[in-house]
């Protein structure tokens, strides 16, 4: 038993009420091991593991890449496919669409009229960039922890519109509000952030950024793909102007449905960047049309109904589990993970006390050897920065055993 195994055994046995004394620590007896195994198999803090078949085979610590599909979502998609084969209920697609919109709005503190379903998070970044009436000399501010789409879109905008992209550096894994304030001025039209960074899980405090940019007359956009589904929030109270996040990660829906929130006061001036039959509110003579004025003005074509069915079921599921419970459980586990990685001498890229479910560290090991060992043990994770950075994501279905499976492998290699 190495030090890590010993500590893990102690913690587990204490939790299971098995180890009476730590004085003569040795490997667990077969009876204790069986008791431990029973105990840990029952370790399902949110009571959701049965809904996630992936938990039977893998320590799936990769929801920041793709969330595994839970049973209720799979059932909704199957049922959608059956409907497409039989056409028994013609009103169903529209009803599902409207229920999903209502569910998103009520779960995240928005009004239905402020919610549109786009196809991807990247759609929203483009939409916001294209809606603003940029003048040469305007600027926008992002930070190093943002997702690659933002840099692609805004470098292109810089080239086409003569605006300046200002990039806040990450300091100790954080993009600090004071560094945003220092780069924001009267020509700042937009601050765009990954609400929770895909790189290290750093979570922005949106009300602070909203205050900074609104004082200069600009807008705040939050890419919410790593945020939606991981903690309770109210979009009105966050102060954000626009936010969007695809369903295939922490909402446990699928690709192709990305709810967009647009604060009501922006719905009049914001123009869609593409048009089609989906926006028609009223048909006028001479092939003219009155277009919708709510957030549905961004829904220009038929939606991806299978993805909407998945989103609808997923939002119902996440609502039932409870965002407060999800946040408490996953943030605690992520906190333990941070502490224990530090205990194993690893260098964290994620800041201490960060309220998110993502943890990244520089593992300082051979990525090929580490990657193969983790794969052999059925641990799923993501390498970033050419394999130097290990990103771990703790979902609602993960438990202490999943985290231990990863930590034990690292402990044996250091």
Ligand X SMILES: Cc1ncc(COP(=O)(O)O)c(C=O)c1O
Binding site for ligand X (CB under 6 A): 120-122, 147, 149, 194, 198, 223, 225-226, 246, 258
Specify whether the CB–CB gap between 242 and 261 falls below 8 A.
yes
Taking the complex as a whole, the smallest distance from the CB of residue 398 to ligand X amounts, in Å, to: 18
How far is Cα 291 from Cα 287, in angstroms, rounded to an integer?
13
Residue 184 DSSP SS3: coil
193 - beta bridge partners? Answer: 222
Q: Which is nearer to ligand X, 226 or 354 (CB)?
A: 226
If the CB atoms of residues 121 and 292 are measured against ligand X, the closer one turns out to be 121
Question: Considering the complex, what minimum distance in angstroms separates the CB of residue 62 from ligand X?
Answer: 11
* 362, β-bridge pairs: 347, 389
Smallest distance, Å, CB 267 to ligand X?
Answer: 22
Shortest separation between residue 246's beta carbon and ligand X, angstroms: 3
DSSP strand pairing (288-291 vs 280-284): antiparallel
Cα separation of 232 and 281, whole Å?
A: 34
Nearer to ligand X, 129 or 258 (CB): 258
Residue with Cβ nearer ligand X (93 or 226)? 226
Q: Which one, 150 or 323, has the nearer CB to ligand X?
A: 150
Give the nearer residue to ligand X in terms of CB position, either 147 or 221.
147
Strand partners, 262: 242
User: Could you tell me the smallest distance in angstroms from the CB atom of residue 135 to ligand X?
Assistant: 28
When the beta carbons of 165 and 194 are compared against ligand X, the nearer one is 194
Q: Please tell me the chain's helix, strand, coil percentages from 3-state DSSP, rounded to the nearest 5.
A: 45, 15, 40
- How near is the Cβ of 368 to ligand X at its closest, in Å? 23
- Identify whether the C-beta of residue 1 lies closer than 8 Å to the C-beta of residue 9: yes
Residue 261: closest CA among 274, 248, 243: 243
> What does DSSP say about strands 115-118 and 258-262: parallel, antiparallel, or unpaired?
antiparallel
Select the residue whose beta carbon is closest to ligand X and give its number: 198
Q: How far is the CB of 120 from ligand X (least distance, A)?
A: 4
In sequence order, the 6+-apart residues with CB closer than 8 A to the CB of 83 are: 89, 92, 93
């Amino acid at each position: 038993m190495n030090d890590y195994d010993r500590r893990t055994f102690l913690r587990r046995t204490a939790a299971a009420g098995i180890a009476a004394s730590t004085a003569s620590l040795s490997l667990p007896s077969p009876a204790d091991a069986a008791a431990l195994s029973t105990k840990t198999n029952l370790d399902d803090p949110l009571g959701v593991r049965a809904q996630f078949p992936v938990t039977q085979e893998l320590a799936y610590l990769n929801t920041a890449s793709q969330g595994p599909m839970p049973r209720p979502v799979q059932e909704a998609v199957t049922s959608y496919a059956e409907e497409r084969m039989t056409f028994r209920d013609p009103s169903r697609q529209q009803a599902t669409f409207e229920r999903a919109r209502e569910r998103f709005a009520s779960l995240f503190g928005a009004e239905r009229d402020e919610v549109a379903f786009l196809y991807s998070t990247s759609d929203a970044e483009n939409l916001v960039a294209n809606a603003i009436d940029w003048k040469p000399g305007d600027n926008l501010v992002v930070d190093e922890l943002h997702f690659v789409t933002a840099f692609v879109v805004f470098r292109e905008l810089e080239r086409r519109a003569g605006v300046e992209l200002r990039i806040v550096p990450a300091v100790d894994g954080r993009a600090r509000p004071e560094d945003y304030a220092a780069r924001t001025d009267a020509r700042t039209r937009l601050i765009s952030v990954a609400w929770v960074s895909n790189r290290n899980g750093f979570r922005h405090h949106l009300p602070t950024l909203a205050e900074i940019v609104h004082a200069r007359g600009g807008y705040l956009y939050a890419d919410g793909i790593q945020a939606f589904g991981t903690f309770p929030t109210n979009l009105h109270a966050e102060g954000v102007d626009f936010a969007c996040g695809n369903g295939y990660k922490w909402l446990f829906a699928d690709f192709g449905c990305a709810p967009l929130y647009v604060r009501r006061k922006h719905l009049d001036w914001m123009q869609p960047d593409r048009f089609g039959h989906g926006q028609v509110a009223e048909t006028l003579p001479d092939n003219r049309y009155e277009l919708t004025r709510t957030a549905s003005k961004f829904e220009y074509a038929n939606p991806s109904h299978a993805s909407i069915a998945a989103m609808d079921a997923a939002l119902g599921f996440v609502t039932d589990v409870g965002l407060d419970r999800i946040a408490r459980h996953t943030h605690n586990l992520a906190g333990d993970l941070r502490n224990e990685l530090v205990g194993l001498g690893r260098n964290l890229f994620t800041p201490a006390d960060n309220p998110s479910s993502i943890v990244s560290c520089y593992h300082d090991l051979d990525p090929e050897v580490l990657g193969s060992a983790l794969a052999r043990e059925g641990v799923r994770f993501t390498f970033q920065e050419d394999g130097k950075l290990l990103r771990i994501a703790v979902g609602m279905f993960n438990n202490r055993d999943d985290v231990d499976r990863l930590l034990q492998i690292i402990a044996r290699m250091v």
